[in-house]
Structure 1
Amino acid sequence: MQPIHMPFWQQQALSLEAEYTPIELTQAVTADICIVGGGYTGLWSAIKLKQSKPDLRIVIVEAKLCGSGASGRNGGCMLTWSTKYPSLARLFGEEEAGRLVTASENAVYEMDAFCKEHKIECELRVDGTYYTASNNAQIGSMDSIVSQLTAKKLNSWTKQPLEKVQRATGSYAHLEGLYSPAAGSVQPGKLVRGLKTTAEKLGITIFENSPMSTLIEGQPATVVTSKGRVNASKVVLATNAWMPSQFREFARSVTLVSSDMLITQPIPALLKTIGLETGCAVVDSRTFVHYYRTTEDGRLMMGKGGNMFAFANKVSPAFDQPSRYQPILQSALNKFFPSIPWHKVDTTWTGPSDRSVSGFPFFGYLRENPNIIYGLGYSGNGVVQTYLGANIIRSLVLEEDDEWSRSGLAQGPRGQFPPEPIRWIGAMTVRNAIRRKEAAEDTNKSPWWFDKQLAKLAASAGKSDK
């Protein structure tokens, strides 16, 4: 059996907590609210609930350490919903779509202000993002979206001269680029650990290494762990990619897909030569995107979405190992940065993304229990969007009638994937079609008609993980 591989970001963050000893739940406790899951969704929700009502007794139970899941192993690109405006408008109407786009862009600045106020040192840099074309077929892919955003006075994107795009992104592989200032990057492990510390300072109790074994529905509801239990008036389920294996209701609501990442050794001089000197996030326009950004200590992080699909949505040990797709990552590194040799790569890792049918997260009440609230399905866009998801959870928990509780995102999942094994076979068929289509486009060849039609099935739900 291969050893468990702790993702790079989490290693960095935990190295700053040398004297830290996690506290396990070993007895029965009572709370107003018990949140299951100590990642971004759970921590932001706890903090926003506590800020709204300081007297609330809030307990978080986390299976491992806060940040052990997707929150501590994503790419750290802080992106918004602006590129998904057409899909939002189709699903929820133009007014709600505009509100969500604006809220997602504001969230970038609000998160930055929060981290500064609470002294969370997480390398958060609001340096914007470039959305690019990395082959001829991708050129113009943002035109319609920008036109719609402009018509609604929502547009933050500006098309940049090609020379500026290639200089700012550090790569001649980009053939077109648009820039938005409402984005950036963050060290995800340090952010989640910083949120944990902030939550505890606010009076929120956090138990780690305390996985939920059973949820007993009722009033109060009871969250049972191996050594203790929490009796709570309300429960929030925030385990995201792990939710389908815990609750059969979500078995077909999402499909788990990996995003695979590499990070180099510190190479600040080389990055400066290339032109990468900010925390700007760079994403290309393919369905399973390439994405990259630098770190404050002079490393390059690069990722590729849409690789491993989990059969029956089981979070297998492969998600805790170095990436199985190192050849794909090596090919991407060589495509964008031929001057960076593979031996400069420090490590690789894998993260699970809970991709919904719509490409957007969804929230609601478990089995219509008004005291059990859930949220999942961030579809690879959770760094900023979990901050917004916490607004929905806060409103649902506090039973408030506002724009968040009335949002279309708060009406449960939209659609289902087919049952197994059809879902997995279908996912692999579509994935392979997308790979063939994009490989052909990279060499300026015309893809097969059949591959183009299959690729539309994934493109309709939006892009993959960042």
Structure 2
Amino acid sequence: MNTITMRPPVAAAKGDRSFWLQSIAADAVTRPLQGGADCDVAIVGGGYAGLWTALRIKEQSPETRVTVLEADFCGSGASGRNGGQVHSWFAEIDMLRALVGEDDALMLCRATANAIEELNGLQASGAIDMDLRLDGWLWTASSTAQEGAWTSAAELCRALGEERFRPLRRDDILRRSGSAVSYAGIVEERAGTVQPAKLAIGLRDLALSKGIVVHERSPVLDIVPGSRPQLRTAGGTLLASKVVLAANAWLSAIPELHPYLYVVSSQVVATAPACDILERIGWTDGASICDAQHHVLYYQRTPDGTVIFGRGTGGIAYGDRIDARFNRGGDGGADNIREMRRVYPELKDVPVLHDWSGPIDCTAQHLPVFGHLKDHANIFYAMGFNGTGIAQTPVAGRIMASLVLGRDDAWSRCGLVGLDRRTRLPPEPLRYLGARVVRHAIRRKNDLEILNRKPGPVTRFLAGLAP
């Protein structure tokens, strides 16, 4: 019975927290775990995945005693640091079909579309104020190499009778985004943006109102498996019948999971409010926008005119050991600022007031995976959200609830359950050295293709080795 040692958290200093978290002064509101306690289900991680899992379990089994242990405060991780983009899994339906088959792919995509409506209902009812704006999600191209990146997913949707996307021309994109840089793309109309930290804090408050126990500032040091696993923190011990690991990139510390998971950084910047400029160029709504680079750009404007501009930088660490560099890069967001000014030259004199980073848990298939540890049928995991989770984690919560509650249904049987279909990644040091070479090639390829220049064969080959 080997103890599972968790990796110590690296909480962001207040000045390094995301614009989202700082703008609402988010922090812990519940007490750390002290002394001994017990529950039916212990959930490690108070982000979207952990909180949605807790809520789904309570929906289906109200008598179940659920406790969430969060290392810092709910939403302090990826859930409060992301770009705030809300779109369905229909954009990945081709990848989903390749992994789980057509029926499951369609079920999962429809479930994320339903999750968007659920979020809308939570806001409309006053349950969670998350600044949800369903003004569309634009997937665009600003160079010839990016053209048609969406074709496979869009054509498959049409073939399956799902008219989820509509093509965009240059004038459509200019009218909706205020930028003349992108000239082709598609739009998912029932999608948009949220204030992600407000959503995370709202989910925490909703969980508390349902009788779910939440202990913040309670990082789990280790877990002793058994019929009643023990979760040890600095202040106490929690006994549970079942455990859910929903700790994002931190699950890379678990030897059984690490071969299928790799950690990269994503960097985001936020400007000072620039309503006058944005009104002048016609960028007025809450649409979320992406381009089709490998290290994708993603951006939105907030209701007060702040521009949020993010990029998956692919930053890595040896052994996926997460340190303070994953909270904030050392370059002040230089890459993002350069790209923002390329897409929006009108913003060249608008100061950037916030820059932050965050670790992302990725799998080779760029789709999450759920299941239980091989030798511990009562310790479950949810990982690999690849930076896309606002409409996906409500679905993940359904899958995890079915697994934890022992239900035999479409969720517990879906093709995202189990590691058997997943690609194992190489061990260290090959993983780290190879990732550095591939990352450099991707960055070079991106920079050349933005200028409509063709990278050389070596660069193309190395960039093509990325998962």
Change (3 A) 1:320 1:143: closer
Give the aligned partner of residue 464 of structure 1. none
- Would you say 1:71 and 2:79 are equivalent positions? yes
Give the aligned partner of residue 53 of structure 1. 61
Rounded to whole Å, the distance in 2 between the matches of 1:334 and 1:193 is: 32
Pick which of 202-211 and 249-258 moved more: 249-258
Given that residues 228 and 239 in structure 2 are in contact (C-alpha distance below 8 angstroms), is that contact kept between their aligned partners in structure 1? yes
Pick which of 275-284 and 323-332 moved more: 323-332
Per-residue CA deviations over 1:218-243 (Å, capped at 9, x if unaligned) read: 11111111111111111111101111
Alignment partner of 1:369 out of 369, 372, 376: 376
Rounded to whole Å, the distance in 1 between the matches of 2:460 and 2:233 is: 47
- Structure 1, unmatched stretches of 5+, are 462-466
Alignment partner of 2:432 out of 424, 428, 432: 424
- Could you tell me how far 1:158 is from its partner in structure 2? 0.8
- Would you say 1:126 and 2:134 are equivalent positions? yes
- Would you say 1:31 and 2:39 are equivalent positions? yes
- Would you say 1:265 and 2:275 are equivalent positions? no
- Would you say 1:109 and 2:117 are equivalent positions? yes
Secondary structure of 1:234's match?
strand
Matches within 5 A, 1:138-157: 138-157=146-165
Rounded to whole Å, the distance in 2 between the matches of 1:352 and 1:323 is: 15
Given that residues 60 and 205 in structure 1 are in contact (C-alpha distance below 8 angstroms), is that contact kept between their aligned partners in structure 2? yes
- Could you tell me how far 1:343 is from its partner in structure 2? 4.5
- Could you tell me how far 1:79 is from its partner in structure 2? 2.2
RMSD after superposition: 1.7
Secondary structure of 1:408's match?
coil
Rounded to whole Å, the distance in 1 between the matches of 2:453 and 2:390 is: 35
Rounded to whole Å, the distance in 2 between the matches of 1:3 and 1:168 is: 36
Given that residues 322 and 347 in structure 1 are in contact (C-alpha distance below 8 angstroms), is that contact kept between their aligned partners in structure 2? no
Equivalent pairs, count: 454
Given that residues 29 and 230 in structure 1 are in contact (C-alpha distance below 8 angstroms), is that contact kept between their aligned partners in structure 2? yes
Per-residue CA deviations over 1:267-316 (Å, capped at 9, x if unaligned) read: 11211112221111000011110110011222110001133112211111
Rounded to whole Å, the distance in 1 between the matches of 2:24 and 2:368 is: 27
- Could you tell me how far 1:123 is from its partner in structure 2? 0.7
Give the aligned partner of residue 8 of structure 1. 19
Alignment partner of 1:199 out of 204, 207, 212: 207
Alignment partner of 2:258 out of 236, 251, 261: 251
Given that residues 259 and 352 in structure 1 are in contact (C-alpha distance below 8 angstroms), is that contact kept between their aligned partners in structure 2? yes
Pick which of 446-455 and 418-427 moved more: 446-455
Rounded to whole Å, the distance in 1 between the matches of 2:224 and 2:249 is: 21
- Would you say 1:158 and 2:166 are equivalent positions? yes
Rounded to whole Å, the distance in 2 between the matches of 1:11 and 1:442 is: 33
Alignment partner of 1:347 out of 354, 378, 389: 354
Rounded to whole Å, the distance in 2 between the matches of 1:236 and 1:184 is: 30
Given that residues 40 and 192 in structure 1 are in contact (C-alpha distance below 8 angstroms), is that contact kept between their aligned partners in structure 2? yes
Rounded to whole Å, the distance in 1 between the matches of 2:155 and 2:463 is: 24
Per-residue CA deviations over 1:378-437 (Å, capped at 9, x if unaligned) read: 111122211111111000011111111001111136121111111111112111111222
Change (3 A) 1:361 1:144: closer
Structure 2: which amino acid aligns with 1:43?
Answer: L
Given that residues 252 and 263 in structure 2 are in contact (C-alpha distance below 8 angstroms), is that contact kept between their aligned partners in structure 1? no
Rounded to whole Å, the distance in 2 between the matches of 1:31 and 1:79 is: 35
Given that residues 261 and 301 in structure 1 are in contact (C-alpha distance below 8 angstroms), is that contact kept between their aligned partners in structure 2? yes
Rounded to whole Å, the distance in 1 between the matches of 2:110 and 2:20 is: 29
Rounded to whole Å, the distance in 2 between the matches of 1:403 and 1:116 is: 29
Alignment partner of 2:226 out of 214, 218, 224: 218
- Would you say 1:177 and 2:185 are equivalent positions? yes
Rounded to whole Å, the distance in 1 between the matches of 2:24 and 2:223 is: 31
Secondary structure of 1:130's match?
strand
Change (3 A) 1:271 1:126: same
Rounded to whole Å, the distance in 1 between the matches of 2:13 and 2:192 is: 33
Q: TM-score, normalised by structure 1?
A: 0.94
- Could you tell me how far 1:76 is from its partner in structure 2? 0.8
- Could you tell me how far 1:169 is from its partner in structure 2? 1.3
Rounded to whole Å, the distance in 1 between the matches of 2:290 and 2:212 is: 36
- Structure 2, unmatched stretches of 5+, are 1-11
Alignment partner of 2:407 out of 393, 400, 404: 400
- Could you tell me how far 1:114 is from its partner in structure 2? 2.6
- Could you tell me how far 1:92 is from its partner in structure 2? 1.2
Rounded to whole Å, the distance in 2 between the matches of 1:48 and 1:3 is: 32
- Could you tell me how far 1:327 is from its partner in structure 2? 2.0
Rounded to whole Å, the distance in 2 between the matches of 1:10 and 1:274 is: 28
- Would you say 1:286 and 2:288 are equivalent positions? no
- Could you tell me how far 1:105 is from its partner in structure 2? 2.0
Structure 2: which amino acid aligns with 1:430?
Answer: V
